[in-house]
Structure 1
């Protein structure tokens, strides 16, 4: 007799398999994500059809993903995609998994800049989540993005096509920005590496083992190297009154504000995320 698995029994199975590795709430979230992905159901459809049988092929596929999750590999890398700002993005080992605080950064840029035809530069492309979301939501914006990783840029190009936007991608090392020609921009935005080597011990195993370290970590001796470099570049390549937006290390907010003040920027604003932590900063180039 062939065993049948319902949606509810499959949820229970996934949670049981993962309970020794992840918190209960996380196992439930993973169960829904796997079922949504494999069955092509919405979460509401899953909740309304818990007694529905699923095919053996679908169950085998879900079980394969579940066993991968037991190795601490992030679910976004297992499925090869994630959601960000209501858009779908393909991800791989060359791209960071987009975080909720980065959505807040994107939302701030979109919410505060309603003019049409803005010239925008994103630095540190990754999956392309920032520049693609801006291109999708800011009317007539001309968006460019630079990254040191050619592999990340290839994935970002795929995501731009997937989300039907035009973004100009450049394979460039921002630490050597003077070696390249740049346009002048209304907005420069960046989520550069900002986790110090000293903070590695506090990070989850699934991040350390799987996400690209070059996109995460900076030296303890100069944790603001990317911010300082981008600020110097922005002084030359932001238009007068242009805006600079950063995602930052929550422990370095005051240092970031001081750095931007020292460089001559105005209207420096430390911004809290939904959890009340200083995770963003913005500033304006003097007129």
Structure 2
């Protein structure tokens, strides 16, 4: 069968689960990943065909997509801030909103003075996407990443090698940490922040396949990670140090109150591209 004909059937098969644009994007992601062919290549050559072995691979991927397995897990990778990251069932898939947090940190802390060294800690690093993106774009930074999951740390280490940066990754349960052994210029975290009551808003591909350990907090104490990290940052940040968080869109005011009550200065709440309260910063 010609690839162009199969494309039509592929999109039709996925129509009960995804809109046409998303289904088509899946087709071209697979085409490029498995065959190094782009949309333009297919447009220029209408006679390209799949053989039976190819169809077996495509149909298996199609069946997984019908179960709403994330395409990033099927391909084993995703793009974040212009970099390539391995993803698997042990780590959250990096989101575009988190790219905005990274952009904020880079814009505020980039320096033409290469001798001005800064030390950054990323808490709950997962894939390492924040830590690695900062290390790649802030060459004067010494970057550390911690996570409670051993498998996440292993993934992050592979991603650092994949992107040719040096980041020190360590296993650490932040809720059981009393203090840091050194101080930092920047502490950043995208911790678990989705309340159980918000599960009804979560898409099946996230709820059924991404690690709940990295997603959910109890309704009774949704700021547990923020309060603990902010407490550690009070002594863990150097003078004029900065604390950055990605946050639950429904808890912006609560986050401002939390940081101000803990004597953080110049607290700033920012919205993401979807106009949701999504990130916050405070200075020590």
Q: If the TM-score is normalised by the length of the shorter chain, which range does it land in?
A: over 0.9
TM-score, length-scaled by structure 1? 0.93
Task: Please state whether the residue corresponding to 1:251 is helix, strand or coil.
Answer: coil
Q: Kindly tell me: are residues 228 and 60 of structure 1, through their superposed partners in 2, closer, same or farther at Cα, counting changes over 3 Å? A: same
TM-score, length-scaled by structure 2? 0.94
5 Å-filtered alignment, 1:136-285, equals 136-178=136-178, 181-285=180-284
Matched-pair contact (CA < 8 Å) for 2:98–2:246: yes
Matched-pair contact (CA < 8 Å) for 1:38–1:62: no
Q: What stretches of structure 1 of length at least 5 have no aligned partner? A: none
Q: Kindly tell me: are residues 187 and 66 of structure 1, through their superposed partners in 2, closer, same or farther at Cα, counting changes over 3 Å? A: same
1:17 aligned residue: 13
Q: Kindly tell me: are residues 43 and 164 of structure 1, through their superposed partners in 2, closer, same or farther at Cα, counting changes over 3 Å? A: farther
For residues 275 and 258 of structure 1, what CA distance do their matches in structure 2 show? 23
Which runs of structure 1 show a deviation greater than 2 angstroms over 4 or more consecutive aligned residues?
Answer: 41-60
Matched-pair contact (CA < 8 Å) for 1:80–1:90: yes
After TM superposition, give the deviation of residue 30 of structure 1 in Å.
1.0
Q: Kindly tell me: are residues 236 and 55 of structure 1, through their superposed partners in 2, closer, same or farther at Cα, counting changes over 3 Å? A: same
Show CA shifts across 1:112-168 (max 9, x none).
111342200000011111101111111121000010000100011111111111110
Matched-pair contact (CA < 8 Å) for 2:2–2:46: no
After TM superposition, give the deviation of residue 52 of structure 1 in Å.
2.8
1:30 aligned residue: 26
Matched-pair contact (CA < 8 Å) for 1:147–1:172: yes
Q: What stretches of structure 2 of length at least 5 have no aligned partner? A: none
After TM superposition, give the deviation of residue 37 of structure 1 in Å.
1.0
For residues 97 and 44 of structure 2, what CA distance do their matches in structure 1 show? 32
Aligned CA RMSD, in angstroms, stands at 1.4
Show CA shifts across 1:173-197 (max 9, x none).
111121x643211111100000001
After TM superposition, give the deviation of residue 284 of structure 1 in Å.
0.9
5 Å-filtered alignment, 1:69-80, equals 69-80=65-76
For residues 252 and 234 of structure 2, what CA distance do their matches in structure 1 show? 20
Q: Kindly tell me: are residues 62 and 284 of structure 1, through their superposed partners in 2, closer, same or farther at Cα, counting changes over 3 Å? A: same
In the alignment of these two chains, the number of paired residues is: 280
For residues 103 and 143 of structure 2, what CA distance do their matches in structure 1 show? 16
- More displaced 10-residue stretch of structure 1: 18-27 or 247-256: 18-27
For residues 238 and 161 of structure 1, what CA distance do their matches in structure 2 show? 28
Task: Please state whether the residue corresponding to 1:257 is helix, strand or coil.
Answer: helix
